[in-house]
Structures are given as C-alpha cells and as structure tokens.
Amino acid sequence: MKIKRYKRVNKYLQFFRTNYGFHAPYQVLIDGTFCQRALKNKVNIKEQLPKYMGDEVKMFTTVCVINETQNIGRSVYGAFLIVKQFDVRKCGHAKNPLKAAECIRSMVGEENADHYIVATSDLILTQQLRKIPGCPLMYLKMNTLNLEPPSKASVEGGHEIKRKQVGSDEVEIERLKELKKEILGPQETDIRKKKRKGPKGPNPLSCKKKKKKAEVNQKPDDKAKEDEEKRRRKRNRKKLSKNGKIVQKVIDSLSLEKSQES
Ligand SMILES: [Zn+2]
C-alpha cells in the first residue's frame, strides 16, 4: 500500500477516534453492493480490510442485507456468498426484513452510537449517511479500499462535541475552585498563590545596560558646564598651535632679513 494512502486513512481514523470515540477493533458494517464490487475487482475484503485500517477489524452484516442479496438472484450470487461469511449483527428485523439500505440506516441511527464504519457502494445510502455526524464511510475505487474523508456533518458535529467538552472543563475547574474556598477559607487560598522563585524584578539579561551612576546623578547644569570647559580647552589648543606657527614664521622672516643684511 502506498504510504500516502496509509497516512490518509490514519488521519481520518484519528479524527473519528478523537471526536467520536472510535477505537479498535473497528466495526465495519458491510452490505451486498460493496461485496459485489469487491468481487468484480477481485478484492478479498476479509484479507484487505485489516491491512488497510492498520488495526484489528470486526466485519459485520445484517440479516436484511443477506436476504436482499439472496433475493436478487443469480446475478449477485457471488456477492451473496461473500456477504454471508461475515458475522451477523442483530438488527431486529429478522421477522420483517427491511431493504438492506433501510436496515443499515436504522443500525447507524441518528448518531451512530455503536461506532460503525459503513462499507457500501450504494450511492443513495452513502449520501444519506454523510448527513449523520460521526459515520465513517468506506468505498471501493477499482481494486483499492478507501475511507471517505469525514463528511461536513461529521466535521461540524466534531467541533460541537469539542466545544461542549471545553465548556464542561471550565465549569468543572470553577466548581473545584469554589469547593477549595469552602474547605480552606478565602485567606488560605490567597496565601497559596504562586510564589515567584529567584530575585524580584525583570531578567537582567533581557534589559538594556544601565547608564553609569555618575552620568545619571550629574545635574544637567554641571554637565553643560563640563562640556563647555572641554570645548574651551580644545579651542585653546588649536589657537596655541596656530599662534605657534605664526611665531615661527616671524622668526623665520627675521632670520632671513638678518642673513640678507650680513
Ligand atoms: Zn435489518
């Protein structure tokens, strides 16, 4: 089996496990149309189904399905031989058998409480079961078994279940808090507030470096004065060097004159 196909079925099963409480051994409810197609495409259901699901599988059918397949006659005799191999799940219609599709619909009911995975090639039945939240459907495409992606109803139903679970959890937590207050008294519960470990204040590693104390403590006036002083000294240094150059020039010119005179 291709890895992609295996991953896909796993994902879908995971969805039904999480949202609708499905679990192994999975219960697959099989009808005559599925057996007929399997026969046509040479698929051995009993052998292939557990391999595809990657887990333990129980395969069922109903009296109504067997009856209908048998009554159709010779054209589906092969399918009849296959379908009657599976365990028969009591459907309650033994005395007054229903049409196979009706029987399966009644087995699934409004919410598929027994966690059936329905394996069928009946398109009308498939469409009807897609409307039931939490009803996985299995079909045959050529010679491969496939689990349908969760239907819209299943997805929406799953969200609803999660919302309810979350809601009930919150209510439960609130109730426990109330109970704690009742037993311990309000002060006790306050004292038990989380204690912070380590020194107070923000993490020093995540903070900017502090400015030097001297700079911080200096008054703005003092700082301005100091800056002015620095600028003055710089100016003087420049002036001095400039003056020095002028003096040197004068000395040079004087010495030149002297040498000319002599
Ligand atoms: Zn039945």
| Ligand 1 centroid distance, CA of 69 (Å) | 13
How far is the centre of ligand 1, averaged over its atoms, from the C-alpha of 94 (Å)? 7
pLDDT of residue 189: 46
Measured between its terminal Cα atoms, the distance across the chain in Å is 118
Gap from CA of 171 to ligand 1 centroid (Å): 42
Does 95 share its domain with 166?
no
- Are residue 119 and residue 158 in the same domain, yes or no? no
Residue 204: the pLDDT is 73
Q: In this predicted model, what pLDDT tens digit does every residue of 54-112 receive, in sequence order?
A: 999 999 999 999 999 999 999 999 999 999 999 999 999 999 999 999 999 999 999 99
Distance 117 CA to ligand 1 centre (A): 16
Residues 6+ apart with CB under 8 A from 139: 34, 119, 120, 121, 126, 146, 148
Domain of residue 232 covers 225-261
Residues of the chain with pLDDT under 50: 188-189, 191, 216
**Tokens 């939490």 identify what position?**
134
| pLDDT score at 217 | 56
Whether residue 81 sits in one domain with residue 129: yes
**Can you give the pLDDT at residue 245?**
73
pLDDT computed for residue 26 by the predictor: 97
Answer whether residue 106 is part of any domain.
Answer: yes
Q: For residues 66 and 79, give the distance between their C-alpha atoms in angstroms, rounded to a whole number.
A: 9
With respect to residue 173, please indicate whether it lies within any of the assigned structural domains.
yes
- The answer on 234 and 140 residing in a single domain is no
* Single-letter amino acid code for the residue at 241: S
Tokens for 48? 């292939």
Ligand 1 centroid to 61 CA: how many Å? Answer: 9
Backbone phi and psi for residue 29, each to the nearest 5 degrees, phi listed first = -100, 115
Strand partners, 57: 26
Distance between CA 29 and CA 24 in Å, rounded? Answer: 14
Task: Look at the chain and report how many structural domains it folds into.
Answer: 3
Does residue 139 sit in the same domain as residue 247? no
**Do 154 and 108 contact (CB within 8 A), yes or no?**
no
User: Using CA atoms in the order 64, 68, 69, 73, what is the torsion angle rounded to 10 degrees?
Assistant: 150
Residues 85, 133 share a domain: yes
